Amino acid sequence: MIREPIEQLINSPLVYTRGMNFPKPEEIRIYDSTLRDGEQTPGIAYTPEQKMEIVKQLSDIGVHIVDMGFPGVSESERQALRLIMQAKKRGEIREDFEIVVMCRSNQRDIDATIQVLDDLKLAPSEVTFFIFTSGSDLHVKYKLGKTLLKAGGRSEDEWLDTPVSWYREANLKLQCDAIRYARSQGVAQVEFGGEDGSRGDIPYITEIFNAGMKAGATRPSFSDTVGCLTPEATRQQIGYVVEHLEPKGTPLLVHFHNDYGLGTINTITALAAGAKAFCANVNGYGERAGNANLAEVVTALKFLYGVEIPGFKYEKLNELSRFVERMAGLPVQAHAPIVGMNVFSHESGIHTHGVLIDRRIYEAIPSEAVGGQQRFVYGKHSGGQVVEHGLRAHESDLRAAGVSLDNELIVRVTEEVNSLGLSEDDLVTIAISLAKSGAGAA
């Protein structure tokens, strides 16, 4: 119906974002933590079989990396890793799909994980080891401090009086020793990072990253563990880290929580500042307010920033959301961006009138592009036009019931549905009932 090119009628968001400096789309890696951080959502507990099925879905949609948790500390996690790797060998998971297992920065955790791999007849080189430590001074001294004192041969009695500077050095040594040990045991890919890095001293975080890379690691991970960064802080922190990373071009992974509802924009900001991999979870599941939401990040990148990730099946986002929702047993909010059941639903007469002219009048995202479906909800705010539209779509059903559709019937049906919340099938039922009672019968 619209005659002019849409570009003449509305401003595209790309007018304002096309100058941003993102990595090449083919360089960006999507890292999913639904199985680990997502499972830390209170009330969520996946079985090993469910984890395998989720990983298969993530592989199919085009995610590049998955963090599956701590196989060295739980039989359930070991079984999940077994099933995932077996499915990968059967070709049910992409060959290039990277599997990450978690370890703390100590030899005991690394040995336990390698033993699990050996029991599963897997080489350490077949997975990536995420060897993590702490990043902020708060965590380094007060969470990790007693561990560092013990590793340094000092008494716990010295905990509070020992200066932060000592803990920083001890933390660096602990991390680098762990990375070197893992590499000596045949581990080929080592991801590493300091928890709560966003609240730490950024030059120190960069020092952690550079020391880890020299020790043999392959990918640093920057974490906003408590979700407290603003986009402005993200731009400054990630920009600084990327500028000072050695060797140049090292792919930085970013991991944002959503405590202020900023997980998506912080992730996008970090990519524009030079990060090349981002962590996100299906449905935004995660501890507290959750993590950056996969559907939000990839869809915003594509439609608002013009960054389309090659091979990613955007049209399966709703299907993936519903699948993980069933596995988790935790409902997604009806108004959740991209995948909520109401995102492409319309009831208001003003809105439905516009959408019936052209859906772009009130819809910024094509529903089919993300696997959604436009639908009309009939109720208090419905106007006669959308009621007529719904009835016309089922005119053959009305005729089969001996009912002809006319203006009088449309008005009566509209009056009826304004007091109810109805589906399109309900419209037909009401129309037939009203027609049989004296209006619109053939």
Q: What are phi and psi of 431, to 5 degrees?
A: -60, -45
Q: Indicate yes or no: pTM above 0.85.
A: yes
Q: Indicate the pairing of strand 253-256 with strand 128-134.
A: unpaired
CA 146 to chain CA centroid, nearest Å: 34
Cβ proximity of 86 and 79 under 8 Å: no
C-alpha neighbours within 13 Å on the C-beta side of residue 215: 28
What is the chain's alpha carbon radius of gyration, rounded to the nearest angstrom? Answer: 27
Rounded to whole angstroms, how far apart are CA atoms 322 and 282? 10
Q: Where are the alpha helices (DSSP H) in 358-441?
A: 384-392, 395-400, 407-417, 424-436
SS3 165: helix
Tokens describing residue 294: 């996969």
CA 330 to chain CA centroid, nearest Å: 15
Supply the pLDDT for residue 346. Answer: 66
Which pairs count as long-range contacts for 86-94, CB under 8 Å and 24+ apart, including other chains?
Answer: 87/52, 87/55, 87/56, 92/56, 92/59, 93/55, 93/56, 93/59, 94/59
CA 85 to chain CA centroid, nearest Å: 23
Q: Residue ranges of the chain with pLDDT lower than 70?
A: 346-356, 377, 379-383, 419-424, 438-442
Supply the pLDDT for residue 407. Answer: 85
Supply the pLDDT for residue 433. Answer: 82
Convert the pLDDT of each residue in 237-283 to its tens digit: 999 999 999 999 999 999 999 999 999 999 999 999 999 999 999 99
Rounded to whole angstroms, how far apart are CA atoms 320 and 313? 10
Convert the pLDDT of each residue in 404-423 to its tens digit: 888 888 788 777 777 666 66
Supply the pLDDT for residue 428. Answer: 79
Q: Where are the alpha helices (DSSP H) in 245-338?
A: 263-272, 294-305, 317-328
Tokens describing residue 427: 């419209």
Cβ proximity of 367 and 373 under 8 Å: yes
Would you put residue 286 in left (φ > 0), alpha (ψ -120 to 50) or beta?
A: left
Supply the pLDDT for residue 440. Answer: 45
Supply the pLDDT for residue 441. Answer: 43
Question: Could you report how far apart the first and last alpha carbons of the chain are, in Å?
Answer: 33
Closest to 211 (Cα-Cα) out of 28, 353, 115, 203: 203
Residue whose structure tokens are 């999507």: 30
Q: What is the largest CA-CA distance in the chain?
A: 94
Tokens describing residue 221: 């991970």
For 173-276, list the strands marked E by DSSP.
189-195, 219-224, 253-256
What residues does 253 pair with on adjacent strands?
Answer: 221, 277
SS3 content of the chain, % helix, strand, coil (to 5): 50, 10, 40
Supply the pLDDT for residue 390. Answer: 76
pLDDT over 70 for what percent of the chain? 93
Which of the 8 DSSP states describes residue 281? B
Tokens describing residue 401: 């019931």
Supply the pLDDT for residue 412. Answer: 80
Closest to 408 (Cα-Cα) out of 375, 379, 381, 437: 437
Rounded to whole angstroms, how far apart are CA atoms 52 and 41? 19
Cβ proximity of 261 and 267 under 8 Å: no
